[in-house]
């Protein structure tokens, strides 16, 4: 299975709804060694429901995401993302600051 990828739309409508803060919240939680590819992407075609987040390869959508909901999203998918709420990775190492 391809590695997990989180797409966070950064196109105009989503940015007007706070997508930059959503992307920043994912960046700060995941760290660089998470094994998750985090992409601030172009329009995902759900402009009326921004900020929009799409988890691949499962194709799980989140709409109207608030930055405060980012930990809940990561926790819900911690198995797919090899990510743990305490900041450690699946191999037990801690993510870099």
Among the listed ranges 29-37, 39-47, 65-73, 83-91, the one in contact with ligand FES (CB under 6 A) is 39-47
# chain residues binding ligand FES, by CB under 6 A? 12
DSSP letters, 17-80, are: TTHHHHHHHHHHHH-TTSS-EEEEES--S-GGG-S-EEEETTTEEE-S--GGGHHHHHHHTHHH
CA angle 2, 67, 8 (to 5 degrees): 35
Q: How far is the CB of 86 from ligand FES (least distance, A)?
A: 31
Q: Pick one of 20, 39, 47, 56: the residue that binds ligand FES (CB under 6 A).
A: 47
Among the listed ranges 7-15, 23-31, 67-75, 88-96, the one in contact with ligand FES (CB under 6 A) is 7-15
Interaction between residue 44 and ligand FES (CB under 6 A):
yes
- Torsion sign over Cα 5, 73, 24, 66: positive
Q: Which residues bind ligand FES (CB under 6 A)?
A: 9, 11-14, 43-47, 50, 52
């Amino acid at each position: 299975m391809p590695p997990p990828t989180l797409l966070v739309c950064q196109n105009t409508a989503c940015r007007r709804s706070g997508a930059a803060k959503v992307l920043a919240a994912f960046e700060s939680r995941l760290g660089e060694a998470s094994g998750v590819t985090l992409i601030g992407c172009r329009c995902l075609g759900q402009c009326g429901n921004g900020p929009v987040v799409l988890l691949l390869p499962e194709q799980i959508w989140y709409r109207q995401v608030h930055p405060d909901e980012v930990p809940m999203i990561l926790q819900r998918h911690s198995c797919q993302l090899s990510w743990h709420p305490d900041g450690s990775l699946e191999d037990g190492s801690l993510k870099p600051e």
